[in-house]
Amino acid sequence: MSLLDKFMTIYGRAPTASASVPGRVNLIGEHTDYNGGAVLPAAIERRVEVALSPNGSFTTSIQSTRFNGRIERPSGDQKRNDWTDYAMGALWKADKLGWLSGGVDLFIDSDVPDGAGVSSSAALITAILRAAAETAGVGADPVDVAKHARSVENEYIGMPCGIMDQMAVGLARPGSALALNTRDLSFEVIDIPSGWRFVVIHSGVRRELADGRYKARFEECQNAAEALGTDALCLLSSAQQEAVDTLTDTLRKRALHVTSEHLRTLQASSAMKASDLDTFARLMNESHRSYAEDFEASTPEIDALVTDALDSGARGARLTGGGFGGCIVVLLESHLEQDWTTAFLNRHPGTWQV
């Protein structure tokens, strides 16, 4: 059944607009996006699709294939720490932009897992904003939509994220990666070499960015930047780099991760364009070590999966996403993908391919 048919079955009429947005996996460049650095995310095949229509009331009705039942919330409702907050936040922003007002009937059809570090929330918010713009007859620029989507996370949800996820889901396509400079939002879409395969595997450890640990890392980076006299921790002068050693041990390690991760990401983008798998894989592995040891955002379960992935023939492997659970991303030579993935999942019950 099509998205249109599903909406009509639920609400008894056709939607005014619909949109489809992919999830994303970050290949390298973790926690650099809010520190002025480079990132290299890629779109995945899984998608969030939405259909919506104003309903002439002051109540928004939300139904999703990922959750049971229909949820109704008053227009303009504040955050409730519920999964529907992301939808309500997107509608709140659409109202502020003049794209939608009042109650909305909304249907969400998604196979992007939540709590997995593959940007289900950014994809949902972006899809709703696109559909709202279509309803209003507005030709919204993808970069502007990404900025609006980020403001939903920052202002409505209260998550101090950067703009990587929103740019990635809005501009990348499956089979490509987005080399993004988060300082000025310049970007390049790079085709992933045909002999490479990135396999995304959920660890089975659910990741909750709202539990405070992501925010703590954000604040540590902000404190390090303030102590060094910069607003972009990834872009330190020579004198500022020398001053990193004067920071407290925690802030020093956070600064070491984001500054080195920025450089690794630039090198990884060049390696991908040159089809240099060896260099890209090495950078992924160095990235995970830095993420686990200096940024302290991994878990024992994740580290064990990364180690086994490399020991069993993967060229590169690392934790991806905001940290503390979720997914690993593994780089394989394409001819190994099917057999390697099957064997790996069989060895690790409770994991699954995203």
Residue positions annotated with a catalytic role: 165
- What is the distance between the alpha carbons of residues 267 and 281, in angstroms, rounded to a whole number? 11
Q: How many residues are recorded in the chain? A: 354
DSSP string for 187-209: EEEEEPPTTEEEEEEE-S----G
How far is 1 from 3, CA to CA, in rounded Å?
A: 7
**C-alpha radius of gyration, the chain, whole number:** 20
Measured distance CA(148)–CA(234) in Å, rounded: 24
Separation of alpha carbons 31 and 319, rounded Å = 12
User: Is residue 193 a contact partner of residue 275, using CB atoms and an 8 Å limit?
Assistant: yes
Q: Give backbone dihedrals phi and psi of 196, rounded to 5 degrees, phi first.
A: -100, 145
